[in-house]
Amino acid sequence: MADGAAADEFCKGLFARLDALRPDWHDRYSLSGLAQEAFSLRVDTTRLFVTVRLEGQKKPVVAARDLIRTALPEVLLQYRLPWPVQLVVTEDTITQYQAVFTLLMQIRRAMSLIQRTRILDELAYRRDIWGSRALYYLLRSKLMWFCNCIQTYLATLVLAPYTENLRQSLRQAYDVDAMIGLHATFMRQVVDAACLGRKLDPIRGGILDILDLAARLEDAQSASVAEEAEEAQELSRLSIMSSPMKASPRRRKPAVYAEDSDDDRAGSFGGRAKRGAINAGKGYHQCLREIKTDFERHLRFICGGLRGVARASGDEAAVKWDLLAEMLEVGVKEGA
């Protein structure tokens, strides 16, 4: 995931298969092809392949699409390392690499969901639409800010500095045993700083809870837009039936929400299925209010937990946890 463009290309292909509710979304040949095409300029693609654990294949495709933590942890991006490198990169560290990869992919999934809706230019002049969507856009911006904070923290304060330190240390290593120890220390530092260690399980759970709110927001918004489109279509039909004259072919169509190009790719697989299952039985504004309440509650818990663990711990990662809490507390103060 070091190459952002390549990682985006692979993730978009995977997410498009989930959004299209393809029953074969977990096909290892198709997923391996996506990964090999995306990372072709970075690695030897003959050594790269993608699989999905059996547990992930058994889960309903609707749940895999709608929940951040359901199917993505079961996706395994694997690379057959050359024999000398296998001496240094052990099975335990590969598992830790997979945990970091999964977290980054979950963040990308949340961002792809909240970036999906686009607005046509003419909507900017319809104040009635903007007024009814005010809370939605507030939540959308807050969730995007949170995802950007976590992604920036991982990239600039965790992965980049620790990777550079590892490179310098490996140059000075005098034998293979020293390399193994340095690499194991590197992965332990990354896992701890990325809130993936056992000590920070509740914090990681809070982060995933907020990422799942992106799926809930997209579900509520898609259901609302579909309902509005149905109402507009019905009103148009009734007006045509009641009019003594045929509708003018030049009549402008009402502005609607346009979809991102990723959804166009999903449409090529058979079209997006109707959403609204996550928030079934709830009104649009009720869903948004609940999402806002949950977001603020989870964010306060994450900030307080990070501060508490940083003060009580003597780990090297405590300084980074404190920095992450400081970054996220901006959202707590704005929501107060």
Closest CA to 182 of 98, 80, 87, 43: 87
Q: Residues 84-106: pLDDT tens digits?
A: 899 999 989 999 999 999 999 99
Phi, psi of 256 (to 5 degrees): -130, 170
CA 256 – CA 225 distance, rounded (Å): 8
Residues 6+ apart with CB under 8 A from 50: 28, 31, 32, 34, 35, 75, 76, 77, 78
CA 70 – CA 63 distance, rounded (Å): 7
Three-state DSSP at 257 gives strand
CA 319 – CA 314 distance, rounded (Å): 9
Residues 6+ apart with CB under 8 A from 196: 96, 99, 100, 103, 204
Report DSSP letters for 244-256, one per residue: SSPPPTTPPPPP-
Residues 6+ apart with CB under 8 A from 118: 257, 258, 259, 260
What's the confidence (pLDDT) of residue 252?
Answer: 43
CA 101 – CA 136 distance, rounded (Å): 30
Of 142-146, 283-287, 332-336, the least confident: 332-336
Q: Residues 268-320: pLDDT tens digits?
A: 444 445 555 565 667 788 888 999 999 999 999 999 999 999 998 888 889 99
Could you tell me what percent of the chain has a pLDDT over 90?
57
pLDDT greater at residue 42 or residue 331: 42
Average pLDDT over residues 169-192: 94
* 87 touches 226 (CB < 8 A): no
Closest CA to 188 of 42, 304, 314, 317: 317
CA 23 – CA 65 distance, rounded (Å): 11
Dihedral-angle region of residue 28 (phi above 0 means left; psi in -120 to 50 means alpha; beta otherwise): alpha
- Taking only Cα atoms into account, the Rg of the chain, rounded to an integer number of angstroms, comes to 23
* 31 touches 77 (CB < 8 A): no
CA 66 – CA 113 distance, rounded (Å): 10
Q: How far is CA 328 from CA 137, 216, 261, 335, in A?
A: 19, 21, 31, 11
What's the confidence (pLDDT) of residue 158?
Answer: 96
**254 pLDDT higher than 50:** no
CA 234 – CA 160 distance, rounded (Å): 55
